[in-house]
Amino acid sequence: MEERCVPVHDRTLWSAAYGEDKAGTVLLIAGANASGYMWPDAFVDGLVERGLRVIRYDHRDTGRSTCQAFEASPYTLEDLASDAIGILDAWAVERAHVVGLSVGATLGQVMALDHPDRLHSLVLMCGAALDVDFVGNIVRALSGEQAQDGLPLPDKAVLEALADRATPSASLEEELDRRVKEWRLLAGEGGAFDAADFRSREARCIAHAGTWVQPGNHAMATPVPLARGEALRLTRVPTLVIQGMLDPLNPPPHGRHLAERMGNARLLEVAEMGHCLPAVLLPRLVEEVAAHVARSQDQDGGA
């Protein structure tokens, strides 16, 4: 592993690279308010074993990256997507295979619109299309209103659990308990879940960040304008959309809706998957991502 803290815009972002670029470079983009260690080591290692170079990084205001009061330095989700391009620049990666989860999938869509020349391929996990009013849907779910776009709303109980982040934990053990409970809900009812594994992952995330206080600034970032979703049909970046069939935040058919909006996408539905990456599913996810990378490399001649 090689670590770098690199200047991107007005911030310094922590990043790390693993493996050699024999079959291409994969950039992992974490979800909202999550550091690069959201990605399990087994997932990273599995891709490296297939000859891929993997880069993960801490979003601004997470982990070891620069953290600032949002009011002093507000930003948009499109700025977060620009940060990802800054990471590619810092590592001298001309084109990458981008894998994003949740908000990371949102940022991947923005990159496909604004920087298609920097992408070999996309993998969009547990995400919603840019034309979905996710912020408005949160409000509607919490207030008991109906969806306006015909797609299912996020689960109210999960949203209420996520809101508990605003109450500081009194100890590390209490914080780990809260985070494991949150992940259990995100795994979906009956979904694959190993509490001990997620507890270990979160302990590492906390050690990496140097604090158990969970960041929350991304919730205040200005969303991507819904009108941008219309342009997704013009994208030609080879895209794999992965839908967790038990995802409580973006339930099916959100994945199908997203795949249909993209100009060059296929859909993978995973029965036991919610809105997280359980250990038991990592081997399959590694295989699916690696196969998608190989297909996209073949399509463009490995350029």
> Is 247 among the catalytic positions?
yes
Other CB atoms within 10 Å distance of the CB of residue 166:
9
For residue 192, what is the DSSP state? -
pLDDT at 302: 43
Output the pTM of the full model. Answer: 0.97
Walk me through the domains of the chain, giving residue ranges and CATH numbers. Answer: 2-134+216-299 (3.40.50.1820)
Catalytic residue among 15, 35, 82, 102: 102
pLDDT at 29: 99
Catalytic residue among 257, 275, 292, 296: 275
Catalytic residue among 61, 131, 155, 247: 247
Amino acid at 244: G
> Is 171 among the catalytic positions?
no
**Residue 210 in tokens:** 């140097």
pLDDT at 214: 93
For residue 76, what is the DSSP state? B
pLDDT at 303: 40
- Measured over the CA atoms of residue 204, residue 187, residue 98 and residue 296, the dihedral's sign is positive
What residue ranges of the chain have pLDDT lower than 70? 301-303
